[in-house]
Amino acid sequence: MSCDGTSVKGDQSQGPPPVPVKIELARAVPLQDTTEYVATLKSRDAAIIMPQVEGQITEIEVHSGDHVTPGDVLMQIDPSKQKATVSSLEQNRAAQQATVEWAKQQYDRANGLYTAGVVSRQDLDQAKSTLDSAQAQLQALDAQIQEQQVQLHYYRVTASTSGIVGDIPVRVGDRVTTTTTLTTVDKPGSLEAYVYIPVERSTQLKMDMPVQIVDSEGKAIADSRISFISPQVDNTTQTVLVKARIANNEDKLRNLQFIRARVIWGSHEGPVVPILAVSRIGGQYFVFVAEDQNGKLIAHQKPLSIGQIVGNDYVVLDGIKPGDKVIVSGMQSLVDGAPVAPQS
């Protein structure tokens, strides 16, 4: 209004001009329903080497990482006591052999005298019984010697399969028993992923269900399928064990390695948005969406719940729906409620 009472055109504010932005529609794409678990890799061809006898280690013939073949000597356990046992039995056998020879001579003599009618049948039978007893004792000693000689071979610990020698936790001079782990021999190649699924989801498990081994960035490095589902629940952890075979052709994975296993339960359709359109403030993800309001496009900031990355997009679990107009450029100039104008 001027001093003479007339109005002045244009003194009414028209508001800020719209901010030029690029807009993309939130796309619906097929998505996988997945869950990641910490799993353990175990070799399907790993042999745990334990001694079959007790004693003190006198030699270790291999080092961790060595390649071995069946029959290669890994370690030597002191065989002195066992050798003494075998030697003692062999001496007893020699004495018993002499007893058998004497009993045979006595039997042959008694048989000749019986034929000539000099001795009775009872004397002949007694001589035969003495010979049979001596021969039986000799056979028993032979069996004992053979058994102890087999035991003697066990003091040389050998590889039962081809592979790579693992960690060697024992040292020369250590005393070992039949429950002591000396080392392992791992055959490179196939592994099994041991995945422990919470019992709440166990009813969804199926044989041949897809499983992926993923790296720290979520990238799949091996694909597999469930080959075993335990029929029982672990009472301590309330989980169900499933196994999936991993080819591991390039030997990127290792026995007893902890890895991330992604179980793929199924698939569905859901929205995705470009990574560049998403901002993060205080740990919460946000995106600007252009919405029609009184014939104009207004930017509204919406919180998102996001999932995994698919290509250059975030999977959106909650916050927007397919078809929403997502602002993908010019966000640094935007505030909630600002008018926007789409660029071509």
How is the chain split into domains, by residue range?
Answer: 19-32+269-342, 34-45+188-265, 46-74+160-186, 80-153
How far is the C-alpha of 201 from the C-alpha of 265, rounded, in Å? 10
DSSP secondary structure code for residue 39 in this structure = E
Fold type of domain 80-153? Helix Hairpins (1.10.287)
Q: Which pLDDT does position 9 carry in this prediction?
A: 47
Token pair listed for 208: 């041949």
How far is the C-alpha of 146 from the C-alpha of 301, rounded, in Å? 86
Check whether domain 19-32+269-342 has CATH 3.90.950.10, yes or no: no
CB within 8 Å of 47: residues ≥ 6 apart: 159, 160, 161, 163, 184, 185, 186
Strand, helix or coil at 135? helix
Q: Which pLDDT does position 251 carry in this prediction?
A: 67
Nearest to 310 by CA among 344, 340, 269, 282: 269
pLDDT of 320 over the 80 cut: yes
CATH superfamily, domain at 34-45+188-265: Efflux pump adaptor protein, beta barrel domain (2.40.30.170)
pLDDT of 257 over the 50 cut: yes
Between 219 and 143, where is the model more confident?
143
pLDDT of 114 over the 50 cut: yes
In this structure, are strands 339-342 and 19-21 parallel, antiparallel, or unpaired?
A: parallel
Counting beta carbons within 10 angstroms of the beta carbon of residue 268, is it exposed (0 to 12), middle (13 to 18) or buried (19 or more)? exposed
The model's pLDDT over 67-92, given as tens digits with 9 standing for 90+, comes to: 999 999 999 999 999 999 999 999 99
User: For the packed helices 80-115 and 121-153, what is the interaxial angle rounded to 10 degrees?
Assistant: 160
- Residue tagged 């003190």 (tokens): 56
The CATH number, out of the four listed (3.40.50.10490, 2.40.50.100, 3.90.1010.10, 3.40.630.40), of the domain defined by the range 46-74+160-186: 2.40.50.100
pLDDT-based confidence at residue 14 (cuts at 50, 70, 90):
low
- Residue tagged 């992923």 (tokens): 193
Length of the chain, please? Answer: 344
Please list the residues that pair with 25 across neighbouring strands.
Answer: 325
